[in-house]
A = this chain, B = another copy of it.
Amino acid sequence: MREPSVLVECVPNFSEGRRLAVIDEIDRSIREVPGVLRLDRHSDPDHNRTVITFAGAPEGVLEAAVRSAGEAARLIDLREHRGVHPRLGALDVLPFAPLEGTTIEECAALAVRAAREIWRRWRVPAYLYGAAALKPDRRDLAHVRRGQFEALREEALRDPERAPDIGGPGLHPAAGAVAAGARKVLVAFNVQLSTADVEIARRIARRIRESSGGLPCVKAMGVPLASRGMAQVSMNLTDYEITPPHRVFLAIREEAGRLGVSIADSEIVGLVPQVALGRAAWAELGLRTPPEDRILERRLDQERARLRDRMK
């Protein structure tokens, strides 16, 4: 088998982070598609949400995404779903990102195809966001999701400005709608505070996020983690080359100190490109040059590939 020369990443977020049997069934619908590389799965009980990371050639990725949307619609009822993370669908967000040999524009076209197919097969409508957005204000996912499932299912029918881009106009009664889009690879990074006071997490989120004048390419919100008795600053770093995780971490530590709390710990949701973590090591160790090209395994892979190419 030839390795795919085009590699797309897909990182669907499902509105279920507690019932393992449901998560397993959704996961299986992705894994069973031939050629799909299922890379990671992360469930959170407080967010009540699961993030699955997979990659592959465009056709396989498309099929896995559409099947997983069907399983989510079959197994999740948003009318009974509670969690601290905002959501509008059973399959809530469906982003495609270019990894190798493709562009964000091609990923946007793939998102549109996936949304059409999800509507055709499962009657779940879609909003297009990010690089796939048809309306400028829908580039921003937070704008699309404003009011969440509960508000949107009414507004979509009343207000054409709020209707889905594909399918609809009403949402699916149980599964809501999908936000399908294209974007660069991002880092989902959460920092837990030594306090259960969610107001402090919200104040920190407002200080560090781009939309309120903070760090560029940082989206942030404060949420309570009841299961851990902590408040969390939950973030997407939409361009880790511009704002890497360690810079955000230091900014949060500073803000937290000012508010009299400290950082308990942190987590990466899903996967992180080596270069983004390398930057963190760089900061920690005071390295004069970035450590990415100092990594043994990476140089081995590069040289083996070069050798294989020369032998062809």
Q: Which residues of A contact B (CB under 8 A)?
A: 1, 3, 7, 9, 35, 37-40, 53, 55, 99, 185, 189, 191, 245-246, 249, 263-268, 270-274, 277-278, 280-281, 283-289, 291, 294-301, 303-304, 307-308, 311
Contacts and interface: CB of A to CB of B under 8 A. Distances in A.
A246 B273 CA distance: 21
B304 A301 contact: no
12 contacts: A37-B303, A40-B294, A246-B281, A249-B284, A249-B285, A249-B286, A266-B288, A271-B299, A272-B291, A272-B295, A277-B281, A277-B295
A310 to B, nearest CB: 9
> What 5 A-B pairs have minimum CB-CB distances, sorted nearest first?
A284-B284, A280-B281, A37-B303, A271-B296, A265-B288
Contacts of A268: 287, 291, 294
A1 B308 CA distance: 7
Contact of A299 (B39, B264, B299): B39
Contact of A271 (B55, B289, B294): B294
Nearest to A263: B286
A288 B267 contact: yes
B39 A285 contact: no
Contacts of A274: 274, 295-298
A281 B268 CA distance: 12
B286 A283 contact: no
Given A273-B297, A274-B298, 10 more contacts: A38-B303, A271-B294, A271-B296, A271-B299, A272-B296, A274-B274, A274-B297, A277-B277, A283-B284, A301-B301
Contacts of A273: 295-297
A227 to B, nearest CB: 14
A201 B35 CA distance: 55
Nearest to A295: B274
A186 to B, nearest CB: 11
Contacts of A191: 286
Nearest to A4: B304
A11 to B, nearest CB: 11
Contacts of A307: 1, 35, 37
A290 B202 CA distance: 27
Contacts of A249: 284-286
A298 to B, nearest CB: 7
A295 B271 contact: yes
A127 B299 CA distance: 30
A191 B286 CA distance: 9
A55 B299 CA distance: 10
